[in-house]
């Protein structure tokens, strides 16, 4: 569904994305991980067509991404950006309905109203439906924004969902709920690409993980293949221990003790 082939992107003399290739199939959740400044958001912007690669190609559903009209792309691809501030006030249900704007002209149809309600229920925000978005906490706002982007592609078979750090500002319960939701969307046939900072959430919920460092691909593959002490050290410059717990069929990491902690 998404084919990325040897893409490069520079800003001035800085190479922000340097020869990256990978693919994502329908039904898969891809997690992109890497240290601050590794190029994760830049890569997501390239996938969203917010910026264009200088060389290499990105195809979606077997068509070059540049061949789509933006209004057509918006019907089956939605994007949760990192920052979502609003300068004017909207009720929560109005904001979630904005996700449906690519699908109707003047008035929402019954289907749009049904989808907004279903998504608000699934994301646990129905109790805020009539609240002013700007009065919500940061974590509550994040859940509303997620509901908006899911509403956008809710009835699109094999829709594409791009998430830039969706668990930002959420407490542990909601971080997990967001990942469970992303996983269940993938299980329904969506293609989900998410930047994550939590390696353990990536390991537990993603089908594949792409590890970036300084715009380059360090590793791409199943969590068991790529979550290794060597790769984590290379990407994050930190020694970790790998844990294997029978309850989770994936590697989990904890930072190893630093010399300064040893007494």
Ligand X SMILES: Nc1ncnc2c1ncn2[C@@H]1O[C@H](COP(=O)(O)OP(=O)(O)OP(=O)(O)O)[C@@H](O)[C@H]1O
User: Shortest gap between Cβ of 214 and ligand X (angstroms)?
Assistant: 8
Which residue's structure tokens are 């195809």?
59
CB closer to ligand X, 39 vs 99: 39
Stretch binding ligand X (CB under 6 A), from 11-19, 172-180, 216-224, 244-252: 11-19
Closest among 129, 147, 125, 138 to 90, alpha carbons compared: 129
238 near ligand X (CB under 6 A)? no
Minimum Å distance from CB 115 to ligand X? 31
Between 119 and 211, CB nearer to ligand X: 211
The bridge status of strand 216-221 relative to strand 208-213 is antiparallel
DSSP tag of 209? E
Select from 181, 176, 185, 195 the least CA-distant residue to 80.
195
For ligand X, the closer of residues 35 and 74 by Cβ is: 35
Segment interacting with ligand X, rule: CB under 6 A, options 9-17, 90-98, 217-225, 230-238: 9-17
- Vertex 76: Cα angle to 75 and 81 (nearest 5): 95
Of 35-43, 96-104, 222-230, 238-246, the window that binds ligand X (rule: CB under 6 A) is 35-43
Query: What's the CA gap between 42 and 105, in Å, rounded?
Result: 32
Q: Which of 14, 70, 88, 247 binds ligand X (CB under 6 A)?
A: 14
Smallest gap, in angstroms, from Cβ of residue 35 to ligand X? 7
Among 5, 25, 41, 59, binds ligand X (CB under 6 A): 41
Rounded least distance, CB 36 to ligand X, Å: 3
| Residue 237 token pair | 């410059």
Q: Contacting ligand X (CB under 6 A), which of 1, 7, 29, 38?
A: 38
**Number of residues located near ligand X, criterion CB under 6 A:** 11
39 is a site residue for ligand X (CB under 6 A): yes
Any residues with CB less than 8 A from the CB of 262 and at least 6 apart, and which?
none
- Tell me the residue ranges of DSSP E strands in 61-166: 63-64, 77-80, 160-164
Residues 79/153, Cβ–Cβ less than 8 Å: no
Q: Which CB, 125 or 212, lies closer to ligand X? A: 212
Regarding 42 and contact with ligand X (CB under 6 A), the answer is: yes
Residue 207, classified by CB atoms within 10 Å of its CB into exposed (0-12), middle (13-18) or buried (19+), is: middle
Q: To the nearest whole angstrom, how small is the minimum distance from the Cβ of residue 74 to ligand X?
A: 23
**Measured distance CA(131)–CA(94) in Å, rounded:** 10
Residues that bind ligand X (CB under 6 A): 11, 14, 16, 34, 36-42
């Amino acid at each position: 569904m998404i084919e990325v082939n040897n893409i490069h992107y520079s800003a001035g003399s800085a190479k922000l994305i340097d020869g990256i290739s990978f693919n994502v199939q329908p039904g898969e959740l891809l997690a992109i991980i890497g240290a601050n400044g590794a190029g994760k958001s830049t890569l997501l912007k390239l996938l969203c067509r917010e910026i264009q690669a200088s060389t290499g190609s990105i195809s979606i559903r077997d068509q070059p991404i540049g061949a789509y009209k933006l209004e057509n792309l918006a019907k089956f691809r939605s994007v949760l950006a990192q920052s979502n501030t609003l300068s004017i006030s909207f009720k929560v249900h109005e904001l979630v309905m904005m996700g449906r704007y690519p699908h109707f002209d003047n008035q929402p149809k019954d289907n749009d109203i049904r989808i907004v309600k279903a998504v608000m229920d699934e994301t646990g925000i129905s109790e805020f439906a009539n609240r002013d978005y700007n009065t919500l906490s940061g974590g509550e706002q994040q859940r509303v924004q997620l509901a908006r982007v899911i509403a956008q592609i809710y009835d699109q078979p094999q829709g594409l969902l791009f998430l830039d750090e969706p668990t930002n500002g959420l407490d542990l319960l909601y971080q997990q709920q967001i990942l469970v939701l992303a996983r269940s969307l993938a299980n329904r046939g969506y293609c989900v690409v998410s930047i994550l900072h939590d390696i353990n959430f990536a390991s537990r919920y993603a089908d594949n993980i792409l590890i970036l460092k300084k715009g380059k691909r360090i590793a791409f593959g199943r969590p068991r293949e790529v979550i290794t002490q060597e790769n984590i050290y290379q990407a994050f410059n930190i020694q970790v221990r790998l844990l294997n717990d029978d309850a989770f069929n994936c590697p989990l990491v904890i930072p190893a003790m630093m010399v300064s902690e040893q007494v």
